[in-house]
Amino acid sequence: MLSYILRRVFQSVIVLLVVGLVAFSMFRFVGDPIDNMLGQERTQADIDRLRSDLGLDQPFVVQYAKFLRGAVQGNFGVSYRQGRPVSTIIAERAPATLELAAVSGFLAITLGIGLGVFTAIRRQGFAANAIMTVSLIGVSLPTFLIGILLIYIFSVELDLLPSFGRGETVRIGGWSTGFLTASGLKALILPAITLGLYQMTLIMRLVRSEMLEVLRADYVRFARARGLSDRVVNFRHALKNTLVPVITVTGLQLGSIIAFAIITETVFQWPGVGLLFINAIQFVDIPVMAAYLMLISVMFVSINLIVDLLYYAIDPRLRIDGRTT
C-alpha cells in the first residue's frame, strides 16, 4: 500500500517537473526577456547588467532551479502585457472561474444523477426517451455553439438574461463574488449551463447505464420480493452501488470543467482565468501562459492522484496486483 502511494506520488512529481521544464523553456527560448524589458535606447552595458541581475548568465540548471523555487512560491514574474505580477492578476481572476466551475459542477452532478436515475427507471417512457435524444444532440454540439444558441434564445430573442460579463460583484476580502447580487446571479445562469451541459450528459448517461445493469441484479430483485418500496429499492439499494464509477468519472471531469471554462469564458466574456489565458496566447504573454500551465498541471495531476488513490481504497482487487496503475 505504502509503496504504491509513494510510487504514484513520485510519478506525479516527475510529471510536474517535466511540465515545469516546458514552462521554463518557454521563458528561455520564446523571445528574449531583455528585449521585452529594455527600450530602444539601450547600451551593451545595460543589457549585461540586466542579464546578470535577472540571473540569465547562469547555467541552465541553476536557472531552472530558480524558476522552480519561484513557481512553488507562486512567483511567475511580471506579465509582459499588463506590467503587473502574474500572481496578482491570477488571484484577481480566479474567483470568477472558481464560482462558475462550482455552479456548473453542482448542476452537472445533481441534474446528471437525477436524470440518469429517472431515465433508467422509466426506460420506456416518452419523457425518458426524449431526454436521451436531446442528450445525444448535447454531446455532439460543440460547447461554443451551445453558448451562442443560449445567448440567441435568452438574450437576443427573450431578452431575459445578460449575455456577457459577471454583473455586479461584491468584494469580501480578496474574493469578489457574484453570488450576492441579483445581476451577478442572473449573469451566472447561461455560462453555468453552457459549461455544465456536456459533463451533465456524460454523468447522466453513465448513471443510466450503471443503473440499468444494477437493476437487473439479484439483490435488487430480492429487495423487491421483500416488498420494499420502489423509492427504497431504487435509491438505497440500486443507486448506492452505481456510485463508485460515477465518483471516479466525476472526479476526472472536474479538471475538464476548468479546461472547458476557457471556451465558455470566451463566449460570455466572463472575466476569469480562462479568458486571461486565451488573451495571453493571442498576445504571446509568456509569464501568464507559463503560470496557467503550471497551475492547471498541478490541478490535473493532483486530481488524478486523488482519484487513483480513492480507487485503490475502494476497489480491493487493485491491492492484489499492485502493478495495475
Partner 1 sequence: MSDVTEKPASDVAQPSRLAQMWDSDFAYAFRHSPVAIVALLVVLVLFLAALFAPWIAPHNPFDPATLNLMNGFTPPGQPNAFTQDTFLLGTDDQGRDVFSTILYGMRISLFVGISAVLLAMVIGVVLGLVAAYVGGWVETLIMRVADVQLTFPAILVAMLIFGIAKGITPPEYRNQMAIWVLIVAIALSDWVQFARVVRGAALVEKNKEYVQAARLIGRGPLPIMFRHILPNVLSPVLVISTISLALAIIAEATLSFLGVGAPPTQPSLGTLIRIGQGFLFSGEWWILFFPAITLLALALSVNLLGDWLRDALNPKLR
Q: Which is nearer to partner 1, 76 or 300 (CB)?
A: 300
- State how far the Cα of 7 lies from the Cα of 53, in Å rounded to an integer: 39
To partner 1, the closest distance from the beta carbon of 232 in angstroms equals 37
Q: Which is nearer to partner 1, 64 or 260 (CB)?
A: 260
Number of C-alpha atoms within 13 angstroms, CB side, residue 1?
9
Q: Which is nearer to partner 1, 228 or 305 (CB)?
A: 305
Contact 107, 193 (CB under 8 A): yes
Q: Which is nearer to partner 1, 242 or 266 (CB)?
A: 266
To partner 1, the closest distance from the beta carbon of 239 in angstroms equals 28
Contact 204, 116 (CB under 8 A): yes
To partner 1, the closest distance from the beta carbon of 235 in angstroms equals 32
Contact 158, 152 (CB under 8 A): no
Helix (H) or strand (E) holding 58: none
Nearest Cα to 273, choosing from 263, 47, 82, 130? 263
To partner 1, the closest distance from the beta carbon of 90 in angstroms equals 16
Report the phi/psi class of residue 77: left, alpha or beta, with left for phi > 0 and alpha for psi in -120 to 50: left
Q: Which three three-digit cell numbers place residue 210? A: 450503471
- State how far the Cα of 44 lies from the Cα of 170, in Å rounded to an integer: 49
To partner 1, the closest distance from the beta carbon of 193 in angstroms equals 18
Q: Which residues bind partner 1 (CB under 8 A)?
A: 15, 18, 22, 26, 29-31, 140-145, 148, 151-152, 155-156, 163, 255-256, 259-260, 262-263, 266-267, 277-278, 280-282, 284, 286, 289, 293, 296-297, 300-301, 304
